Amino acid sequence: MPDTHLLHELIEVSAHRAPAAVALSHGASHSSYASLNAAVQGCVSGLMALGLQRGERVAIYLEKRMETVVASFGATAAGAVFVPLNPLLKPEQVGFILRDCGVRVLLTSPDRLALLAPVLTACPALRHLVVTEPAASADGPLPITAWADLLQAPARPGHRVIDTDLAAILYTSGSTGKPKGVVLSHRNMVAGAKS
């Protein structure tokens, strides 16, 4: 097995080694490593089609589900940084984090998007919204892309990534004040996964 240095390589290597093995299970739904890797590559292409630049932030405001995993690996494979948002956070808390780290793309569900609408106008760096299902109303100041459409973008490679590049920003609970972002490189994330 080749040594992995980048977060998304963990999926690529597993897909090469055991493509039919189950990688994810959610309820009655299962995904093999091959299909997970294909979805991650589709996410990369979709993010690149949105014009995402190297090192820009992709926030994920979802409960535990397949899209959360795909977007986390897809963002890093595209050369971006994923920012997981606790699904229990209130809209004002999400807005603070989106502003604090300059999120460019937000992945969420239509229901969560409706709750966030009042705070999104105060997030100047935000350029794109991706929703897990087509939204009932696409009205708003930002373009909305359905997750399925994002994954169907024409294939294109992500930006160059090295192991010291930022992979994730994890926010603390903020129990003694505002949440603070903890930055993790690909090297940090891969070492944690291997341990």
Residue with tokens 């090297």: 187
pLDDT at 135: 67
Q: Concatenated DSSP letters for 24-59?
A: EEETTEEEEHHHHHHHHHHHHHHHHHTTPPTT-EEE
pLDDT at 172: 87
What's the CA gap between 133 and 135, in Å, rounded?
Answer: 6
pLDDT at 2: 57
CB contact at 8 A, 40 and 7: no
pLDDT in tens, 54-99: 999 999 999 999 999 999 999 999 999 999 999 999 999 999 999 9
Phi, psi at residue 45, to the nearest 5°?
Answer: -60, -40
pLDDT at 184: 93
> Is a pLDDT exceeding 50 seen at residue 1?
no
Q: Concatenated DSSP letters for 56-87?
A: -EEEEE--SSHHHHHHHHHHHHTT-EEEE--T
Total residues found in the chain within this entry: 195
> Is a pLDDT exceeding 70 seen at residue 46?
yes
Alpha carbon distances (Å) from 102 to 33, 58, 120, 125, 139? 32, 9, 12, 5, 23
pLDDT at 139: 64
pLDDT in tens, 99-154: 999 999 999 999 999 999 999 999 999 999 999 998 656 567 799 999 999 999 99
Question: pLDDT grade, residue 26 (50/70/90)?
Answer: confident
pLDDT at 8: 92
In eight-state DSSP terms, residue 136 is S
pLDDT at 68: 96
Provide mean pLDDT across the span 153-161: 96
In eight-state DSSP terms, residue 6 is S
Q: Which amino acid is at 108?
A: T
Q: What is the three-class DSSP state of 69? A: helix
Question: pLDDT grade, residue 173 (50/70/90)?
Answer: confident
